[in-house]
Amino acid sequence: MSGLAEQVSEILERVGDDEVMEIYASVGTEVEVKVYDGRVESLSRATSGGLGVRVLGAGVAGSRVGVAWTGSLDGDAIDRAIAEARDNARYASEDEFMTFARPDGVESPGLELTDPSVHSTSLDDKVALAVAAERLVRGDARIRQVESADYSDYDVETVVASTYGVRAWTRRTGSFLSLEAIASDERGDQTGWGLQATRGPVALEPERVAQDAITRATRLLGAVKPPSMRTTVVFSPRSTATLLAIIGTALSGDAVVRGRSIFAGRLGAQVASREVSVLDDPTDARHFGASRYDAEGLACRRNVLIDQGRLAGFVYDTVSARRAATVSTGSAVRGGVAGYPSAGCRALALAAGTGDADTIVRAVGDGVYVDSLSGVHSGVNPISGDFSVGFTGFMIRGGELAEPLREATVASTLQRMLLDVVAVGSDVEWLPGIAAGQTIAIAGVSVGGR
Amino acid sequence: MRADLVDSDLIERVLRTALRRGGDFAEIFVEDRGSRAAVLDQRRVETLGSGHERGAGIRVIAGATTGFAHTADLSEAGLLSAAEAAATAVGERDGRVHEIALGATQRHRTEVGESPVSVDKERVIEQLRRADDVARGAAGSIAQVQVSVGGSTRRLLIANSNGLVVTDEQVRTRFAVACVAEGDGGMQTGYRPFGATGGYELLTDDLIDEAARAAARQAVTKLGARPAPSGDLPVVLAGGTGGILFHEACGHGLEADAVAKEASVYAGRRGERVASPLVTLVDDGTVAGEWGHVAVDDEGHAGTRTVLIENGVLVDYMWDYLRARSAGRGHSGNGRRQGYQYLPMVRMTNTFLLAGDSDAEEIVAQTPYGIYVAQLGGGQVNTTTGDFVFGATSAFLIEGGRITTPLRDCNLIGNGPTILQRVDAVAGDFSMGGPGTCGKNGQQVPVGTGQPTLRLSAVTVGGTAT
């Protein structure tokens, strides 16, 4: 057992027999390097830890929950947080569905989410990864500038434990290499991101990150505004992953029971074209978001959400499941020690279809290819389904990518878009974040431009 | 007066340790932050949470390289170990012995009547319920109401090897109402936040009622909304709503870090006409009470008022200590960070467009066809190309000089330098907008925005109607 798990167990042992308490604690180390023009511009190192505590108070019509958190694992800070949580619980509303997770007998998937190279790789070698990626990008004559090349990694342990007998411990490492290339010619500047996320630095490939950034930036040079039209839009794997993450918010059982999802009341209905099957599977280690336990300490599991277009299920945490008269799907997520559990997806993917990007673009014939999206947080409403976001990409003419596009929007509604999916590719890319992506095509999307 | 977070003898030792392996500047940033948040969702007090964190970030600069380490351990051992880690990160060994001579401590604080983290919890819940009642009372079609209130206190101590020692106590309080209205055509949402740099006493019943009614009205109005058009159209932004436009269209591009690396379309354009002559844009951290107010920035330097664009001409950029030092000029109080775990960088404070001479109603009346945006959501910009998007969460069609049909949510997209030239009318009805949160390189800081009613001759509207 780790020191953190031991510390959390000791706290729970001190709790009285009649008190219900849950602790979510984490401790980790991190390194962050920014390189500019071949030199270290900044280097940060830190160890940090914190803890969130929830307590349940009994009431006539249900339980009251109180929460508090601290950014330190120091004894006094923890005692203070526990006292605050107890006091906060006095003021919360009694809620018949409020409770904490109880062990449900589902076994946690045996996933290895750490890579020892996070520690065995020297700081100099980590810096060298960023230096190498930057040098490759600057070596391309079309590239004018690289704002910074960044390397970062972490090693974090998380413990969830409760007086209900939950005991979950996870440790994960991650390393990231990223940079943004600025390409330039007489028509102006364009930018392109290269980014790779792995569990450890040995798996990072500076050449791939550099090439990705160069390609994305240079192929947009000379981009123009498209005419406004309604057409078939092909989404790149990265932009599909963004779309999928948005769909994932609406598939949260928490949003659904609150009536704040386009999917509320639609279980069993055909909500998407038959090409579309959506799975949330944190037990698949290929997903960066793979996890052994959810944020309430239950085992993560594979959940089928949309099956050949039919709405097959939602993801639930303990409380949203109770509100929906079902059981948790092991899908509690929370934004660190300061957050509260809610239901959410960690590892979304579309079931692979057939054909790669070239095949799909050829089949579409004429339309628009969306390479990357912007303004997603301001342009998508998961309650009404209204969808309107900025993009960069290309015209598709005669089955080929043609002139690059910028300063344009794609718009529809999430409901329409799901039903209008006409092709799903087999070219799955495993990306950082909560969703993988592949090339897909959606008919009847509005493009806003000139 | 409360004792300082770390005593001055220890600060000196920490700064000396930080410079032990070389470097020409060292800084310690100590923060003690308390927060409180409560949410009333569908009449249930669902979460009432408190949080606390304290720690220190230590930075060493040697030429163009910065070393940084942070710790939650404010003991002598903890701070010296972080100082050593920051020093190692820079890693030069110039053998010089640095004398640290700290000056007199400059003390600042936000004057508050009542702290938002210690205010009586019953009273907080009463106010949440009040907003819920008012929102539901505003229209029968309101199906859901979520009300949230939060506040934070931030005690800071910032000291550096130039001798600066500054303390500050920052307090912010924020309230928000979100509504969902249900009609034949589905659900629509309304949202209205308000907040200030100040204490809980700012949450008056009048302001709460106004926010609740506005959120409800917005959701209900959109029930009758039709799809927004797509393509280039004139757009009128209502006063107080559109400061985010300038925040994205040029604010980020005027931050000296992007400028220094020529990753901004505004790099090297000082003295040039970059906007319509109607545009005078200011970043001003000194406006007491505003959401982006800073008595001192997170490097201990006084907040200032910086004229960025004057009558269309680019006057200056925004600066933090590091960028100002390399440019050999003064900083502008724009060095900010999310917390002690982060390095400071150039950030906006309150960024706003000054009032013009036109009349707001006249501007609409003189627009035969276009879009009237009553509330903007967030936005995003690529500073290098200047292309940016911003969301309209409440918009209407303008037909024959009159505001007519409500429109569904949509994004607007434009290019900063082009849009700045297209400001063709600015009214006198200046007002600040709601409390904003600006994200940059993974750090969130509170910012204010503001502007009078204005018109852009053409912006690309991302709707679905053709």
What whole-number distance in Å separates Cα of residue B464 and Cα of residue B466?
A: 6
Instruction: State residue A190 phi and psi, 5-degree precision.
Output: -140, 155
Work out the mean pLDDT of chain A and round it to a whole number: 96
Asked whether residue B302 falls in the same domain as residue B403, the answer is yes
Q: How confident is the model at residue A187 (pLDDT cuts 50, 70, 90)?
A: very high
As for how many domains chain A has, the answer is: 2
Q: Give the one of B189, B231, B261 whose C-beta lies nearest to A383's C-beta.
A: B189
Asked whether residue B276 falls in the same domain as residue B206, the answer is no
The pair of three-digit structure tokens given for residue A73, joined into one six-digit string: 């694992």
Residue B56's CATH number: 3.30.2290.10
Asked whether residue B146 falls in the same domain as residue B290, the answer is no
Q: How confident is the model at residue A1 (pLDDT cuts 50, 70, 90)?
A: low
**pLDDT digit string, tens, across residues B272-289:** 999 999 999 999 999 999
Work out the mean pLDDT of chain B and round it to a whole number: 93
Of the residues A218, A253, A271, the one at which a domain ends: A218
Chain B residues closer than 8 Å to A389 by CB: 389, 411, 462
In a domain, B1, yes or no: no
As for how many domains chain B has, the answer is: 2
Instruction: Write down the H helix ranges in B299-415.
Output: 321-327, 360-365
Pairwise CB contact (< 8 Å): A384 & B43: no
Q: How far is CA A11 from CA A6, A48, A76, in A?
A: 9, 19, 12
Instruction: Write down the H helix ranges in A234-340.
Output: 237-250, 253-257, 318-323
Residue A248 scores a pLDDT above 90: yes
Terminal C-alpha separation, chain B: 64
Of the residues B195, B223, B251, the one at which a domain ends: B223
Domain of B199?
Answer: 8-223
Instruction: State residue B170 phi and psi, 5-degree precision.
Output: -105, 135
Q: How confident is the model at residue B65 (pLDDT cuts 50, 70, 90)?
A: very high
Q: In sequence order, what DSSP letters do the residues of A9-66 get, joined into one string? A: HHHHHTS-TT-EEEEEEEEEEEEEEEEETTEEEEEEEEEEEEEEEEEEEE-SSSEEEE
| pLDDT reported for residue B92 | 60
Mean pLDDT, rounded, for A401-421: 96
Of the residues A193, A218, A243, the one at which a domain ends: A218
Residue A128's CATH number: 3.30.2290.10
| pLDDT reported for residue B354 | 97
Residue A123 scores a pLDDT above 60: yes
Pairwise CB contact (< 8 Å): A189 & B51: no
Testing the interface with A: which of B75, B380, B422 to mutate, by most A Cβ within 10 A? B380
**pLDDT digit string, tens, across residues B314-364:** 999 999 999 999 999 999 999 999 999 999 999 999 999 999 999 999 999
Q: How confident is the model at residue A126 (pLDDT cuts 50, 70, 90)?
A: very high
Within the 253-272 window of chain A, which residues sit less than 8 Å (CB to CB) from chain B?
258-260
% residues pLDDT > 90 (chain B): 83
Pairwise CB contact (< 8 Å): B378 & A378: yes
Chain mean position to CA A107: 24
For chain B, say whether A67 makes contact (Cβ under 8 Å): yes
3-state secondary structure of A119: helix
Domain of A308?
Answer: 223-450
Q: Measuring CA to CA, which residue among B89, B77, B78 is closest to residue B20? A: B89
